[in-house]
A and B are shown apart, each in its own frame.
Chain A
Amino acid sequence: MMSNQLAILQVVIPLIAAPLCLLVRHAKLTWLFALTISALCSVIALLLLQQVTTHGPVVYALGDWQAPIGIEYRIDVLGAYLLTIVTSISTIILLASSSINKSELSKQKQPLFYVAYLLCLTGMLGIIVTGDVFNLFIFIEISALASYTLIAMGKDRRALTAAFSYLLVGTLGATFILIGIGLMYMLTGTLNMHDLSVRLVELSQSRTLFTAFSFFIVGVCLKLALFPLHWWLPNAYTYSPSVASAFLAATATKVAIYILLRFIFGVFGQEFSFSALPLQNILMTLGIVGILVASTMAIYQKNAKQILAYSSIAQIAYMILTLGFNSHNGLLATLIHIFNHALMKGALFLALAAVMYRIGSMEIKQFAGLGKQMPWTFAAIVIGGLSLVGIPLTVGFISKWYMIVASLENGWWPVALVIVFGSLLAAVYVWRIFETAYLQTAHEPNKQIKEAPLRLLIPVWLLTLANIYFGIDVRFTQNIAELATQSILGSAM
C-alpha cells in the first residue's frame, strides 16, 4: 500500500529529483520542478504526521531487511513534526525563490542551485527519518555538502571564504560524530538506534561510551552553532544567496537540535546523558551565555542579514537552555520554539530577500526611508521583528511564555530574567532596523524604489501571517509538541 511507503518516499523523491534538475537545465522550469517536488514532500510529511499521531510510530525496513541487520526508518511524532516544519518552510521559500535567484545568480547557475537545494532537503529529511546511526552520518554529510555549495554560490566573493570555513567546521563536526558512532559500534556491534538504546543501558559505566558520548555531542553542537562553536554561522548566512540563507536559517539548525534530542534522550538515554557529564549545567551555562553574548553582538552588526544570523545563534541558545532544564516543560518549550523560530526567521530572511531584490544591499544604512517606499515588505519585517522580540499575539510570545513557565516552575528566577532580558536585547537590534526604515529620510529622496513584486510579497506574507496565526491559535503546535515531548521522555524511561 502507498501509505506504507511514505517514509521512504519522503527521502527518495527529492533525492531522485535533484539530478533530474540537471536534465531540465532551464532556470524557470527547474524552479517549477523543485517547487513541485518540495510541495509533494510537504504533502507526504503532513500525511506522515497524521498517520503518526493516530497510529503511533511508522517503522520501515529498507529493502525489507529487518533491523538490526538492515537499515530501518523510524518516524515518531517528533520526527513527523520536524518533517512538516522543514518541508513546508522549504516550499514557501521556494515559492519566492524564482525571482530572487534571477537577480542574484547567473542563468547557468540557477539549475545547479536547485540541485543543491534539493540535495540539502534530502539530507535533512533523511536525518529526521532514519533509525540507523551510520545512515544518519551519511545524510548529515549530504545536507552539509549541499549547503556548502549553496553558500558558495553567493554573489559576494566573501561567500567563498564563508563556505570554506563552514566546510572546515562542518567536516570537523562530522568527524567527531563519526568517531562517536564508531566507538558505539565497537561497544555494541549494532548501528540501529533502537537497538543501541537497549544495549547501551548495560554499558553506562564504560569509559568508551563516555568518550563516544562526548565526541558525538560536541560534533552535533558544532553543527548547530551552539555558542561558542558558532563563529562559522554569521558569515555563512550573510553572504549566501538570499534563498539559501532563508532556507538554512529556518531549518538547518533545527535539524541539528533534532539529532541532539534523539541521542540525548533516545540513544544514550536521559539517565545516562544527564549523569555521565554535568550536561544540565553545561547546556544551561552555554545557553545563558549564548543568549546574552550573541544578542549583544547582533546589536553591533551593520548588515541586516548579519543581525539576523547572530539572532539565530541566540535563539539556538534559547532552545539549548530549555533543553538543558531536562524537564517536561523545558522540552516542550524547546520543541515549540523550534517551530516558532522557523516561522520568524523564515519570514524575516524572506522579507530581507525582497529588500535585497529591490535595493541590492543589506547594509542597514541603505534602509533609510524604505518604510515608506516598500510599505508591505517592511510591515512584514516589523511583524517578524516583533515576533522575534516576543510581543503578545505572535509566536514569539508563545515561546517566551513556555520558557518562562519552564524556568519559574523550578524556581529559577535568574534564568527567567535572562530569557526576558534576551528578548529586550532582541528589541534593541530589531529596533535599529525599524528606526532606520521609518524615522530616517532616504539618502536619495528622488530615487524611486518600488514595492517588491507580488510574487515575493505573497510568500513573505504567508510566513508573516503564520507568525500571527500560530501565535493566537496554539492548538496545533501545542498538541504536537506535547505528544512529541511525551514520546521523547517515554522512550527515555
Chain B
Amino acid sequence: MQSNELLYVQLAILLPATAALVLPLFKRRPNIRETVTLLASASLFLICISIYSTIDFSHQQSIVWLTILPQLTISFSVEPLGLLFALMSSLLWFITSIYSIGYMRYHHEKNQTRFYQFFALTMTTVIGIAFAANLFTLYVFYELLTLSTYPLVTHARNQKAKLGGRTYIAILLLTSFLFFLPAMVGTWLVSGQVAFESGGLLSAYTSELKVIAILLPLFLLGIGKAALMPFHRWLPAAMVAPTPVSALLHAVAVVKGGVFAVLKVCVFIFGENLIAMLPTTQLLLYLAGLTVLIASLIALRQDSLKKRLAYSTVSQLSYITLGALLANKTGIIGSAMHMVIHGFSKITLFFCAGAIIIVTGKTKISELAGLGQQMPITMSAFFIASLSIIGLPPLAGAWSKWWLLLATAEAKQWLLLGILALSSLMNIFYLLAIPLKAFFTVPTQQISVKSDIEAPMPMLIAIITCTCLCFIFFIFPEPLYELASSITHSTSGQ
C-alpha cells in the first residue's frame, strides 16, 4: 500500500513534465494539443485523489530520487498539508485548462503551444513543492517554479511584458538568494540536516536560540512568493500575463506555493513551541498584519481590475502567514483552509476578469458600469466569489476566516484580531463595489458589444464550476477540515 502511494507521487510529478514534452508534437493541431492538456490535468487530479483515498498518515515513507550532497536529497513524501495543496492545484489546473482553451482562442494569443508547455512544466514544479520531503527539495522546486513561470508572465513579448517580467524575476530571485538560501544553509549548519520533521526540526536545538531567531525572518522574507511586504511588488507586476496565467499562477500555484512553503517551514522546521518562544515572531506578526492593511488600502485605489485583485491577493496571503505565525493549532488549521478556499474564490474572480476582457476588452473598473445586464452570469459569479473572500456565509470563505479569527483570539493577539476584522470590512469596499457598479449603475455611453453577449462556453463552465465549489466547501467543509487538522495531529504526535 505504501509503495503504491509513493508510486503515485512520482507519477504525479512526472506526468505534467511528460505532457510538456509531448505538446510540441501537436503544434499544428490545436485540438489534439488541448486534448492532451485536458487529459494530463484530469489524470493528475485523479492521481491526487487516489493518493488521498489510500493514504494513511500514521506511518510516513519517503522516496529519495537524488542525493546531491550528503543530507541534501531530492526526496518526496506525502503529508496532509502537501496533499491538500496538490489536490487544490491539480483540480484548478484542470479547470483552468478548460478556461484557457476559451480564452487563448478567443483572444487570438500567439505561441499557444509554448503557453501550454510552460503551463504543464509549472505544474510539475508545483507538485514537486507539494510533496517535497525536505527543505532542500522544496527550495529546488521553488526556484524552478520561478523560472518556469517567467516565460508565461512575459508571454506577450512586448515592452510592458518585459518590464513586468523584470520586476517579477528580480524580486523573486532577490528574496530567495539573499534570504531563503542563507536561511537554509543556516538551518543545515545548526542541525546538520534539512528534513521536515513533525514538531519542528529546529525545536531540538533551543541552545542556538539566537541564530534560530534570525532564521525565522530570513525564511519569511526569503519566501518572496508569500508576498510579505516590502517584497510584494512582483505580484502586481506579474499581471501583464494572459489572464489564465494570472488566474492559476498568481491566485493559486505561485502565491499558494509561497504560503505553503511558509506553512511548511513554520510547522515542520520550527514547530509551534519554538515559534512561540522566538523574540522575532511578534515583529513578523505585525509585519503580516501591516501587509494585510496596506495592501487592502492600495487595492482600494486601483482602477485596473487585475491589479486590484492582485493587491487583494497580497493582503489575503498575509492572513495565511499570520495564521502560521500564531503558533497554535487553530491558526494552522485556519491557514491551511484559507490557502485552499481563497484559491478557489480568487481564481473565480480572475476568471471573471478574463471573461470581461474577452467580451468587452475592458480592464478598468470605472468602465464596468452596466455590465451586469450584458454579462449576468459572469458578474453574479464575481459577486458570489467576492462574498466568499469577504468571509460571509453561506460561502466557504466564512470557515477559514472563522478559524483565523478564533486563532488570533486564542493567542490573545487582540490588535491582529482587529486588523483582520477591519480588513474584511475593506474587502467589502474594494471587491463588492465592482459587481454593484456593474449591476446598479447605468452606463454613461452605450456599450459596444464586441462579439458575444456572454463569455465563450468553456470559460463559463470554468467560472460556474468554481463558484459552485465555493458553495460546496461551505456545506461540506469536512474533508478540508480533516486534512487541515491532521497536519497538526501529526505535529502533536511527537
Contact = CB atoms under 8 A, between A and B. Distances in A.
Interface in B156-175: 157, 161-162, 165-166, 169-170, 173-174
Contacts of A413: 182
A420 B143 CA distance: 14
B178 A392 contact: no
Interface stretch (B183-191, B248-256, B311-319): B183-191
A472 B189 contact: no
Interface of chain A, helix or strand or loop or mixed? helix
A306 interface: no
Interface string A411-451: 00100110011011001100100010011010000000000
A424 B69 CA distance: 23
Interface residues of A, number: 32
A474 B178 contact: no
A377 B446 CA distance: 53
A404 B185 contact: yes
Main secondary structure of the interface of B (DSSP, over half): helix
B69 A408 contact: no
10 contacts: A391-B147, A404-B181, A408-B186, A420-B181, A421-B177, A424-B177, A438-B151, A471-B68, A472-B68, A473-B66
B66 to A, nearest CB: 6
B140 interface: yes
Contact of B169 (A392, A421, A431): A431
B69 A417 contact: no
Nearest to A390: B177
A401 interface: yes
A43 to B, nearest CB: 29
Contact of B68 (A389, A421, A423, A474): A474
B177 A474 contact: no
B152 to A, nearest CB: 13
B204 to A, nearest CB: 20
Contacts of B186: 408
B139 interface: yes
A439 B161 contact: yes
B151 to A, nearest CB: 8
A6 interface: no
B144 interface: yes
B281 interface: no
A408 B169 contact: no
A473 B72 CA distance: 12
A64 interface: no
A401 B147 contact: no
Nearest to B154: A439
Nearest to A413: B182
In the A-B complex, the 7 residue pairs with the closest CB atoms: A392-B140, A420-B177, A404-B185, A439-B162, A439-B157, A392-B143, A427-B173
Given A389-B173, A393-B144, A427-B173, 4 more contacts: A386-B147, A416-B185, A420-B178, A435-B165
Contacts of B140: 392-393
A202 interface: no
Contact of B69 (A386, A389, A400, A474): A474
B174 A424 contact: yes
A386 B185 CA distance: 20
Nearest to A416: B182
A421 B174 CA distance: 8
Nearest to A393: B140
Interface of B: 66, 68-69, 72, 139-140, 143-144, 147, 151, 154, 157, 161-162, 165-166, 169-170, 173-174, 177-178, 181-182, 185-186, 188-189
A55 to B, nearest CB: 26
B68 A435 contact: no
A392 B139 contact: yes
Contacts of B189: 405, 408-409
Contact of B188 (A405, A428, A474): A405
Interface string A375-400: 00000000000100111110000101
A327 interface: no
Contacts of A366: none
B69 A401 contact: yes
Contact of B165 (A392, A420, A439, A474): A439
B238 to A, nearest CB: 15
A472 B66 contact: yes
A439 to B, nearest CB: 5
Contacts of B154: 438-439
Contacts of A401: 69, 72, 185
A430 to B, nearest CB: 11
Contacts of B177: 390, 420-421, 423-424, 427
Given A405-B189, A416-B185, A439-B157, A424 B143 contact: no
B182 A478 contact: no
A417 B177 CA distance: 9
Contacts of A398: 68-69
A417 B188 contact: no
Contacts of A391: 143-144, 147
A255 B216 CA distance: 42
Contacts of B188: 405
Given A391-B147, A392-B139, A405-B189, A417 B178 contact: yes
Given A405-B185, A405-B189, A408-B185, A421 B144 contact: no
Kindly name the residue among B143, B144, B157, B181 whose own CB sees the greatest number of chain A CB atoms within 10 A.
B181
Nearest to B139: A392
A473 B147 CA distance: 22
B182 A408 contact: yes
A424 B162 contact: no
A431 to B, nearest CB: 7
Nearest to B179: A420
A389 B150 CA distance: 16
Nearest to A423: B177
Contacts of B68: 398, 471-472, 474
Contacts of A400: 181
A392 B188 CA distance: 16
A348 to B, nearest CB: 18
B144 A404 contact: no
Contacts of A427: 169-170, 173, 177
Contacts of B147: 386, 391
B69 A420 contact: no
A478 B69 contact: yes
Given A398-B69, A472-B68, A474-B69, A424 B181 contact: no
Contacts of A409: 189
A410 to B, nearest CB: 11
Q: Which residue of B174, B182, B186 has the most chain A CB atoms within 10 A of its CB atom? A: B182
B193 to A, nearest CB: 13
A382 to B, nearest CB: 9
Contacts of B181: 400, 404, 420
Contacts of A474: 68-69
A392 B157 contact: no
Nearest to A471: B68
B16 to A, nearest CB: 17
Interface in A105-154: none
Interface in A460-488: 471-474, 478
Interface in A318-347: none
A435 B151 CA distance: 10
A427 B168 CA distance: 13
Given A424-B174, A478-B69, A404 B182 contact: yes
Contacts of B169: 427, 431
A441 B178 CA distance: 33
B142 to A, nearest CB: 9
